[in-house]
Chain A
Amino acid sequence: MTTTDALSCEALEIWRGERRLCHGLSFRTEAGRALRLHGANGAGKTTLIRVLAGLSEPESGAVRWNDQILVEAGDGYRQSLAYLGHANGLKSNLTPVENLSAYVAMTGRPPAMSIADALARLGVGGVAERPCGSLSMGQQRRVALARLLLSRATLWLLDEPLTSLDAAGNELLVELIQAHVERRGIAIFATHQPLELANGVLHTITLGGAA
């Protein structure tokens, strides 16, 4: 990880269908920082995360990764990005190990730790050989979160990462995010639940209101 990594937005205007979710949204997040997107249901958290990931296009404005707009940053950006959407991206017919090894191979880089270790860290080591479809929603979420530990990405984009997690899972995720930020990573997550990080690294942006 370089020390200068930064994600910034300039005057973002985002629409979903016929509705304007935000306009004139600007912010900058640097290595060693976490950003929490806050807002009611339908405020546009998911859409903003997708725009930041480059999955959707903003109506106007630009997202920049290290001062390059996303289209130009291209593969370099995708290499630096670990994305967790509201869906887990797990194949229900495959086991957690099979799912994660396919993911690791797709990123084309050696994993930051072994798959078994990552699953154990998230407390789902015991179900590593069962089809994902037979796991509970919380367990599936944990398996999906294990991807963050495997990837060497600087930037974590998490859409409602706390969904289906129990209290212990919440704490674990907070620990993971804190550790990632302390390693000079960047974490941006959308959540409507309270989530606090130590050392004042967390900033909050509230979406919605009178849009």
Chain B
Amino acid sequence: MNGALVALIRRDLQLAYRRRGEMVTPLMFFIMVTALFPLGLDPEPMLLRTLAPGVIWVAALLAGLVGLESLFKSDYEDGSLELMVLCPVPLELVGLVRVLTHWLITGLPLVILAPLMGMLLSFPSSAMGTLLIGLLLGTPILSLLGAVGAALTVGLRRSGMLLPLLILPLAVPVLIFGARSAAMAVAGDDVSGPLYLLGAMLALALTLSPFAIAGGLRVSLEN
């Protein structure tokens, strides 16, 4: 079964490499949205610095929605999903593997870019570590939640707008604690509380969402 999982990861990475143009879109979106704020607002460093945690987290959250619809869509349309359901690997693991490769390709580069965008918003370098850890914990949760929505709506023809409506309310706690941890770091407070909570949410999402993803995929395949 391990061989099967490795094969799935390999195939997903191979596919991502062939479609690298699509993979860059969320990243470009993240850069654009964060870069728009200093342009639209008064470029006063103190103001930007106050807004930076929220701006970066909201941008990361929205960037996570870009391309989310296609997470299982092509598998659904070309019949690969049926083969994935019928293969001896549990669908829960198949779904989890897909989310993790998706995060590696879209989420991780975003986290790596975040300090750069922080500098653009005069985010203090002393708090950069907290921002990074927060995003490292938070973006996988967003990917996992997004995958649940993507699995549920994969059978619908126009799921484009429905998906954010489903996902965004669920992502609110992640946003609150993520942005809060960065803001507290800027203020010089102890940030362990919100980071622990993010970690707990990640553990919860990692363990529970695969079942919801598999359930969603099965329901979508029923018809």
Interfacial residues, chain A to chain B (CB-CB below 8 A): 16-17, 53-57, 75, 78-79, 81, 83, 85-94, 98, 101-103, 105-108, 131
Contact = CB atoms under 8 A, between A and B. Distances in A.
A106 to B, nearest CB: 4
A106 B222 contact: no
B51 interface: no
B83 A105 contact: no
Contacts of A93: 15, 18-19
Contacts of B7: 101-102, 105-106
Contacts of A54: 86
B1 to A, nearest CB: 6
Given A56-B222, A57-B222, A108-B89, A91 B82 contact: no
Nearest to A105: B7
Nearest to A132: B78
12 contacts: A16-B223, A78-B88, A81-B86, A87-B79, A88-B79, A94-B15, A94-B18, A101-B7, A102-B8, A108-B1, A108-B3, A108-B88
Contacts of B221: 55-56
A106 B4 contact: yes
B3 A85 contact: no
Contact of B78 (A88, A102, A103, A131): A88
A54 B91 CA distance: 14
A54 to B, nearest CB: 8
Most chain-A CB neighbours within 10 Å: which of B14, B19, B79, B86? B86
Contacts of A92: 78
A58 to B, nearest CB: 11
Contacts of A85: 79, 82
Contact of B82 (A16, A83, A94): A83
A83 B4 contact: no
B80 interface: yes
* Chain A contact surface mostly: loop
Most chain-A CB neighbours within 10 Å: which of B14, B15, B77, B80? B80
Given A85-B82, A87-B78, A89-B82, A106 B19 contact: no
Most chain-B CB neighbours within 10 Å: which of A53, A87, A98, A106? A106
A91 B79 contact: no
A75 B89 CA distance: 9
CB-CB nearest 9 A-B residue pairs: A87-B79, A105-B7, A89-B79, A93-B18, A102-B11, A106-B87, A89-B83, A108-B4, A89-B80
A102 B19 CA distance: 18
Given A56-B223, A105-B8, 11 more contacts: A53-B82, A83-B82, A83-B86, A87-B79, A89-B78, A89-B79, A90-B79, A91-B78, A101-B7, A106-B4, A106-B7
B6 interface: yes
Nearest to B18: A93
Interface string B194-223: 000000000000000000000000000111
Contacts of A53: 82, 86
A102 B15 CA distance: 12
A147 to B, nearest CB: 8
B78 A90 contact: yes
A49 to B, nearest CB: 11
Nearest to B221: A55
A102 B18 contact: no
Contact of B88 (A55, A79, A102): A79
A55 B11 contact: no
A101 B4 CA distance: 10
A51 to B, nearest CB: 10
A14 to B, nearest CB: 12
A98 B77 contact: no
